[in-house]
Structure 1
Amino acid sequence: MSERVLVHVRFTPNGLVTEIGERPAGVSAQAWFDRLSSGGFHAYQPLSGGRGVFRLHPAELSSHRAASLN
């Protein structure tokens, strides 16, 4: 199995993102979630308790980081 990076997400009861892993400096939690969702929602898995996780290849994560800083 190929290597994946797990990006953990935590939501408020109304669905807004409060915490998300691997977030670049200067990018809000909600903006980072929106960025990952736009290009990697196939890799998202919802979990119970207002949580979820993206399972991304390291190259995908790097690409999203670079795009979010432009």
Structure 2
Amino acid sequence: METQNVILHARFAPNGSVVEMSERPDGLTPQAWFNFLSDKAGDVYQTLAGGRGVFRLTRDELAALKQAAVPVPV
């Protein structure tokens, strides 16, 4: 069986804060989701040009991370 990979895109503001993050669970801000992924899956993060970056995960890894993510009160 072939593993399905998912690419999660992050977009940063000029000040370094995260303004956009794909596959974000309900209740998490883009910055909170990025911080959580950086802590749990930082080894699969790749920095790109133009204030962007990506996390490369399998569908199963993404599902487990989404389930483990706890919404942070804003």
Deviation at 1:15?
0.9
Alpha-carbon distance in structure 2 between the residues aligned to 1:23 and 1:7: 9
- 1:1-70 to 2 correspondence within 5 Å? 2-69=3-70
- Any unmatched runs of 5+ in structure 2? none
Ranges in structure 1 where 5+ consecutive residues have no aligned partner: none
What RMSD in Å do the two structures reach over aligned CA positions?
1.4
Deviation at 1:58, TM superposition (A): 1.0
Could you state the TM-score of these two structures normalised by the residue count of structure 2? 0.86
What is the alpha-carbon distance in structure 1 between the residues aligned to residue 69 and residue 3 of structure 2?
25
Instruction: Please tell me the residue identity of whatever aligns with 1:24.
Output: P
* Rounded Cα–Cα distance in structure 2 between residues aligned with 1:63 and 1:57: 10
**TM-score, normalised via structure 1 length:** 0.91
- Whose radius of gyration is greater, 1 or 2? 2
Q: Which runs of 4+ in 1 moved over 3 A?
A: none
Matched residues, percent identical?
Answer: 47
Look up the equivalent residue of 1:30 and give its one-letter code.
Answer: Q
**Corresponding residue pairs, total:** 70
Please state whether the residue corresponding to 1:62 is helix, strand or coil: helix
